[in-house]
Copies of this chain bind each other. A is one copy, B any other.
Amino acid sequence: MRSGKILVAQGGGPTAVINQSLAGVVLEARRHEGVTRVYGARHGVRGIVDEQFVDLTQETSHNLELVAGTPASALGSTRDKPDLAYCREIFKVLQAHEIEHFFYIGGNDSADTVRIVSEEAAAAGYPLRAIHIPKTIDNDLVGNDHTPGFPSAARFVALAFAGANLDNAALPGVYVGVVMGRHAGFLTAASALGKKFPDDGPHLIYLPERTFVIDDFLADVKAAYERHGRCVVAVSEGIHDASGQPIAAQLAKDLERDAHGNVQLSGTGALADLLCEEIKTKLKIKRVRGDTFGYLQRSFVGCVSDVDAREAREVGEKAVQYAMWGDRDGSVAIRRTGFYSADFTLQPLGAVAGKTRVMEDEFIAPSGTDVTDAFRLYLRPLLGSGMPDAHRLRVNPVPRVLRP
């Protein structure tokens, strides 16, 4: 006799479409005969060990649809990374509530949590189906063509750089935009999709897949500035030197950034400010501006790729179908089948858990500061429909009168 109880939770950094996956799980689960209750845990694994559950069976379909269209984890999230002991606590709670299907929407750390819980259940002979549902704006899950959340964040980054390029063309100077993504450059590389005309920015793109050398950076900026009279630069927050040390830490060495000598690498504008300072002092360029896109790129309301929204919904739906009919644990993955079309598979949890995908070499130009056409073809369909476009006045010069 099965209990028919399902538990779903959300972990890690929120995305614009993570609630689509939640709605996908809940709405699909409620279609299955034998499912008696769909619980949601508040704040991910933290809410499981604290037994903070809400009954999503009592939620209306209409409100679930509205929540699906709202960014950031509706159940709340957590940064907890459970170890074995923590996972045993999780398993204990699942047992106590007679939960037989566990769905965790998150990145590679969340996949690892699902893997350990799955193994604990198997060892105890407890009938649990545990499925990991992919989610991360970093696009760094192995075995996936891309991950839900990334396309919408990429759309934000592409549109932000399209705008920054127009702004920079109107008031020329150097503009540095720092983008999230940790060790994976996909989101920073998305800046290239904001380009339309050959002289549009970003003129330079710095990815964590390549070693960052400050002198090369300055030489690149100088050359682009001399060529275009301006320069737009996209920089990943994860850029590092040959030894793997983050650039922000390296640049800040001599600067005594704060009263304690600390350097923060995220949630601050430090890296953009340090790079701007280098450009100003070393290249003697006056108008240098730096923006750190920060939390806007993952939670801005109203910037969603419709392709991303649909797929995020589908991975939630497929997770329930795999659990109900597949009778095996795993991680849902997106596979590309056409231009553009996607399908879903279930990979073993061990294949994705704790692993990090970075940008493939075929996506990075030989210069190391641009993307390839292969990347443009890869990303373009994911950005979704209705991408705004930038237009220019045509060139019709008027002859000078005073100084011909």
Contact = CB atoms under 8 A, between A and B. Distances in A.
Contact of A167 (B14, B159, B268, B277): B14
Nearest to A268: B273
Interface in A43-57: 43, 51, 53-56
Contact of A70 (B72, B74, B166, B273): B166
Interface of A: 10, 13-14, 39-40, 43, 51, 53-56, 58-60, 63, 66-67, 69-79, 92-93, 96-97, 159-160, 162-164, 166-167, 169-171, 175, 194, 254-260, 264, 266-270, 272-273, 276-277, 281, 288-296, 298-303, 387-398, 400-403
A125 to B, nearest CB: 20
A77 B392 CA distance: 14
Nearest to A155: B302
Given A58-B396, A74-B392, A171-B13, A92 B402 contact: yes
Given A259-B281, A273-B269, A397-B53, A167 B67 contact: no
Given A79-B171, A267-B289, A393 B63 contact: yes
B299 A291 contact: no
A400 B43 CA distance: 16
Contact of A56 (B194, B302, B396, B402): B396
A396 B59 CA distance: 8
19 contacts: A14-B166, A53-B397, A56-B396, A67-B393, A70-B391, A70-B392, A73-B170, A76-B169, A79-B171, A160-B296, A160-B300, A163-B299, A167-B295, A259-B277, A269-B269, A289-B295, A302-B387, A302-B388, A303-B303
B164 A299 contact: yes
Contacts of A272: 268-269
A66 B292 contact: no
A76 B173 CA distance: 12
Given A75-B393, A92-B402, 6 more contacts: A259-B281, A260-B281, A264-B273, A290-B294, A301-B388, A302-B388
Contact of A296 (B59, B163, B298): B163
A259 B296 CA distance: 30
A14 B165 CA distance: 12
Contacts of A267: 276, 288-291
Contacts of A171: 13-14, 76-79
Contact of A291 (B79, B292, B389): B292
A273 B252 CA distance: 14
A64 to B, nearest CB: 8
A229 to B, nearest CB: 11
A131 to B, nearest CB: 21
A291 B301 contact: no
Given A51-B403, A259-B255, A301-B390, A175 B97 contact: no
Contacts of A301: 159-160, 162-163, 166, 194, 388, 390
Contact of A269 (B54, B290, B396): B290
B291 A295 contact: yes
A194 to B, nearest CB: 8
Contacts of A256: 255-256
Contacts of A164: 295-296, 299
Nearest to A68: B391
B166 A393 contact: no
B388 A97 contact: no
A66 B391 CA distance: 6
A194 B170 CA distance: 30
Contacts of A40: 393
Nearest to A391: B66
